Amino acid sequence: MGKFKCAHCRGEFERKALIERGGELFCCEGCAGVYEILNSSGLGEFYERLGKTTLNPARGAKNAAQKSQEDLAAIYQNYVKNENGFSKISLIIEGIHCSACVWLNEKILFAQKGILEVNINSVNNKALIVWDENEVNLAQIFALIHSVGYEPYPYDAQAQEQRLAGQRREFYARLLVGIFCTMNIMWLAVAQYGGYFTGMRADVRSIINFAEFILATPVLFYTGSGFFRGAWGALKNKTQNMDSLIVTGTLAAYIFSIYAMFSRRGETYFDSVAMIITFVFIGKYLEILSKKKAADTLDNLNSLNLNSVSVKNGDEITLKSAQEVRVGELVVVRAGERVLLDGIVISGAASFDLSSLSGESAPAYLSAKEGENEIKSGSVCVDGTLVYKVGAVFSESVLARIINLLETAAAKKPRIQALADAIAARFSAAITALALATFAFWFWRTGELSAALIVAISVVVISCPCALGLATPVSTLVALGAGFRRGILFKEARIIESLAKCDTAVFDKTGTLTSGRLKVSKFTHAGKFDANALFSLVSGSDHPVSRAVGKYLRANFRDLKLLELSGFENIAARGTQAKLDGINLAGGSEKFMRELGLYDGEAARGTCYFFAEDGQIAAVFELEESLKEGAKECVDALKNAGMRVAMLTGDNEYAAKRVAEGLGVGETVANALPTDKAAYVERLAQQGRNVLMVGDGINDAAALALSSVAVCMGSGAAVSIAKSDVVLMRDDPASLAAAVALARRTYCIVRQNLAFSLVYNAVTIPLAMAGYVAPAVAALSMSLSSVAVVLNAMRARSER
């Protein structure tokens, strides 16, 4: 009796094992249910896209869904992140075999109201899902995926690492087999080639050919098994890739060599088959090592959530996974340990390395004292021991937000990659056509099948779509890691490209170029001036102007003394006044002095502090905001990079001009309201400028939103992360210049890699078509081209 196919999973079964529903046959109720759901939802197109691919039967979906429901609280606690009022989770979807499976899962999820974003990677089956908890919950999402026959699991870095470790062990075994067999084939080939000059009996040549056949077979089908899987996957989806080219070339040479070996007509090319597979595999190995090094920063961060922390419960200390610790529990941190959870110090004191958070190399001292008791995840205890109370679970910590930001950035492709992907997608098909044309030409010219086949194989093998595909993602991954180590977080990978193209930098003055703290820029005084009296007067006020004057006095006058004042009065928004030994003292703004009838001169152009003693103006201090350290160097670096630099501020023109002159900024807009800042950025954009807007994310949100790239300075604050494309975790303008330099260097490397890939193929493919390149040399060249692209991408790590 013949076999019958299940209408859903396409598996073949005996007729008696199938059930009939609506005129269709199914292997189980699960498949029947999935089939009905898809067709009733208008997703019957899935079966056309599926082609001949078979699926796992959809049995047990209800049980799996129930299990997920039971674990829902733990999943929400450990894996669900909240961003901008929406929930987000990374899942591994088991059962995805091809692009049709990806299409189906994305379609069925997007059809559900409340699901805002679905990104599924068909390579690692990892899905990023964002949803509105008010309209749909996680249990419904799991049920949707189950309903079409797939199994969702929360992404767990430890389980993923175990899976990758198994893959690496298999990879090493395949590599060793390839190298061992290929080295022995090369020795046999040397003997065989020597026979052309010294003479060799036919039976000896046959023995050597058979030995090469025995050695080449495991290389092709075991070492090269990954290439066959990739080629088969591409074939099922009616596409071609690099694996298709490798398999086509080596399989053709292998089959022809078997024919030549048994017919004793023509040459065998088992040595070429083994060398092609082994050289390409070694190239893949070097490529994987380089890519792993590029991803090390993110991998190391991801592994932190697997670490344990010391939880204090009375006198007992127990180890717990960071994800298991709850808010309010007490955690002990000792020297050498990394902080994994945010909280407040309640006892002890220690120094912490915050370089991974802010890029600041100087250790920070933390204790239970107010103002120095906030401890952030990601920092490392340098010395001392302390106990802190956990203020947020791991998924809501600063460290988790940074990991999430980097993961999201790495998952999204830059725009330039779309061009490379488009070229690579058509590349393999074009190479196959060229190889067939080459084979036809050489067979017509020489009449020899073996000669034509070898030239065609060289054409197939020497081409390298892989270099095109690697040009952008490896460079981007390296840049993301390099940026993180310097306290620069790119929200998406595409921002690197956008930042590299920016030609105009617009700064909101306060909080970016200036510290917001005042300092004395000019001091004038009359002959009679009592510094001790003034110091005593300003010491009684907490106003920023008074503090700036006091700081100036301490720095420039020796042996200052606090004198006993009487009748001290602090007048809001005006100044202070008091008496010293019956002498009236007054200090404050110009307006205050005019009100007291002590000053009738010209109006001050900036912020000034007047000091009057015994009814006379004794001293005048002109003040200005202090520039942030590195602000001048940042502006100079941007100008040297060819960028137009402008500054926006709500301050008056005089104050704005003083800051602009100190920084060398030529274009300044003063008295600017938030709406004026937004209009200025919009006007630049309409002129065709690519605008980099730098602000603090508080009063310039509209301007940030209208810019090509928005940058916020701070220590990873939520407001900065929410409103910016780039977060400078270190509150230092030098980080901005470094971010621009990193983006431009990375973009330059990407273009170099793309250019190299195109030039390499444009030069080597014609040489191979002309018959100048042997298959083994072609394989080596192709592997080296991929490795060269990856090594060039690693230059983005450079500090220069």
What amino acid positions are annotated as catalytic residues? 508
Query: Following DSSP, what letter does each residue of 24-83 receive, concatenated?
Result: EEESSHHHHHHHHHHHHTT-THHHHHHTT------TTHHHHHHHHHHTHHHHHHHT-EEE
Q: In this structure, are residues 591 and 599 in contact, taking their beta carbons and an 8 Å threshold?
A: no
Q: Strands 115-121, 81-83: parallel, antiparallel or unpaired by DSSP?
A: unpaired
Q: In this structure, are residues 712 and 762 in contact, taking their beta carbons and an 8 Å threshold?
A: no
354 token code pair: 């915050």
- Dihedral pair phi/psi, residue 154, rounded to 5°: -60, 140
3-state secondary structure 228-264: HHHHHHHHHCCCCCHHHHHHHHHHHHHHHHHHHHHHC
Start-to-end C-alpha separation, the chain:
73
Mutual orientation of helices 270-304 and 449-462 as an angle, nearest 10°?
A: 20
Query: Following DSSP, what letter does each residue of 186-226 receive, concatenated?
Result: HHHHHHHHHHHHH---HHHHHHHHHHHHHHHHHIIIIITHH
Residue 410: alpha-carbon gap to chain centroid: 4
374 token code pair: 């906030």
Q: In this structure, are residues 466 and 283 in contact, taking their beta carbons and an 8 Å threshold?
A: no
> Which residues share a beta bridge with 580?
583
Residue 622: alpha-carbon gap to chain centroid: 46
Q: Strands 380-390, 81-83: parallel, antiparallel or unpaired by DSSP?
A: unpaired
694-713 CB burial, b ≥16 within 10 A, e <16: bbbbbebbebbebbbbbbbb
Return the ∠ at Cα 745 (arms to 743 and 749), rounded to 5°.
115
- Dihedral pair phi/psi, residue 602, rounded to 5°: -65, 150
- Dihedral pair phi/psi, residue 692, rounded to 5°: -100, 115
- Dihedral pair phi/psi, residue 502, rounded to 5°: -65, 135
Scanning the structure block, which residue is given the tokens 């129930």? 66
Rounded to an integer, what distance in angstroms lies between the CA atom of residue 250 and that of residue 322? 50
Give the helix, strand, coil percentages of the chain, each rounded to 5. Answer: 55, 20, 25
